[in-house]
Amino acid sequence: MLPYAKRLNIDYVWVHGAATVLEATFAHSLNMIGTSVLVVEMGVGMRMTKEYCKQLVDGIFVEMKDLGMWQGEVITPKDPLIFTDGEVHYLNAGYAGIFLPTVEHWTNVKKGDKIGEILDPLESVVKEELYSECDGILFTLREYPVVSEGSLIGRILERQA
């Protein structure tokens, strides 16, 4: 799938071993009939932007031209970052509450930078402050504010010194 991913005009490719592909997903159904699948995420859960959709459509036309399905002009796709599981750090909630980020998605962070806070809405207190464990790029950031203990808050691609 990596050659396809490189032509699709995406920002990054995270090659990782998923334990399972959920049965209720379109990706699972395609895998079951022998069709290779590339899942595209936009880095912030459940958020789609017009800009990123246009970026992907431009990449789809590149792929269609390579397959002989499109004769029109196409862009030169971006050269995506490519990384693997060992380079990714997960930020998880230690408490239930309301997550308020203090940084933006797709931000360079340094070890010790504050990523956000989890607030207890009933007591009006900060239950937890979340900090980066490494230098890198915050490539996933939670959009929904309500979190449970253990909820994924973000992922950081570690940059080696």
pLDDT at 93: 97
pLDDT at 44: 65
Please provide the CATH number assigned to the domain covering 86-158: 2.40.50.100
Handedness of CA 58, 22, 155, 152 (dihedral sign): positive
Per-residue confidence band for 38, with pLDDT thresholds at 50, 70 and 90: confident
Q: Which residues contact 61 (CB under 8 A, 6 or more apart)?
A: 70, 72, 74, 75
Per-residue confidence band for 52, with pLDDT thresholds at 50, 70 and 90: confident
Residue ranges per domain, the chain?
A: 2-79, 86-158
More confident residue, 133 or 43: 133
Stated pTM of the model: 0.74
Q: Which residues contact 19 (CB under 8 A, 6 or more apart)?
A: none
